[in-house]
A and B are shown apart, each in its own frame.
Chain A
Amino acid sequence: ETGVTQTPRHLVMGMTNKKSLKCEQHLGHNAMYWYKQSAKKPLELMFVYNFKEQTENNSVPSRFSPECPNSSHLFLHLHTLQPEDSALYLCASSQERGNQETQYFGPGTRLLVL
């Protein structure tokens, strides 16, 4: 499945590092999402971009900063993370304002913060 790709697939970083996660969708969709999946917790929506509008989950710490330069690319910039931020970060995309409401997911980036 190459509809939604994510890089890197694995990332280990220290708490003082700055890194970025990249997501690219090849499906012609106009909405993109970041989700966080921690062990033994339901997936949590972090950010949504749709028609260049961003919706931010109020509980997302400022050490996570999204960027959506165009409808095909989505970034998640990370800085001064904490060990509890270690998780699987999933990107998804969908076509909004049509009848195709389904979100398609990328393979995820497994992040470990030391």
Chain B
Amino acid sequence: AQTVTQSQPEMSVQEAETVTLSCTYDTSESDYYLFWYKQPPSRQMILVIRQEAYKQQNATENRFSVNFQKAAKSFSLKISDSQLGDAAMYFCAYRSAGWSSGSARQLTFGSGTQLTVLP
């Protein structure tokens, strides 16, 4: 079974600064997807960025980028030019690329990192 670990329960960053959230995972599979979701106080789970394991290039979405280290099984999220609206709980998630069963398609989430943005 896959596991996802987020070792930072809470992080804070000054507005306009850069912050990096850590995520490690454990899997024996070679093909999979990794995601970062944010959950603001509204509780809506919003996709931030995704990475296919077969792609060596790190994914980027505007101010959000990842550092994907497949061999180290590490998938960190970097937020540049932090804004007050970035304050949320951030979840790292893993998903197998297999098709064989419903359980193979499930997202496995980490425990989350609560990000506070200081004005």
State the A residues within 8 Å of B (CB).
1, 31, 33, 40-43, 45, 48, 50, 53-55, 57, 88, 90, 92, 94, 96-97, 101-108, 110
Q: Is the interface of B mostly helix, strand, loop or mixed?
A: mixed
Verify A97–B99 contact, CB threshold 8 A: yes
Interface hits, B79-119 → A, CB 8 Å: 91, 95, 97, 99, 101-103, 105-107, 109-112
- Count, chain B residues at interface, CB 8 A: 25
What separation, in Å, do the CA atoms of A12 and B95 have in the docked complex? 33
Other-chain contact of A104, B47, B97, B101, B110 (Cβ < 8 Å): B47
In chain A, what residue has the closest Cβ to B99?
A: A97
What separation, in Å, do the CA atoms of A41 and B106 have in the docked complex? 17
Other-chain contact of A102, B47, B91, B111, B112 (Cβ < 8 Å): B47
Other-chain contact of B109, A43, A54, A101, A102 (Cβ < 8 Å): A43
Verify A88–B43 contact, CB threshold 8 A: yes
Q: Known interface pairs A101-B97, A105-B44. Does A31 touch B112 (Cβ–Cβ under 8 Å)?
A: no
Q: Would you give the shortest CB distance from B72 to chain A, in whole angstroms?
A: 22
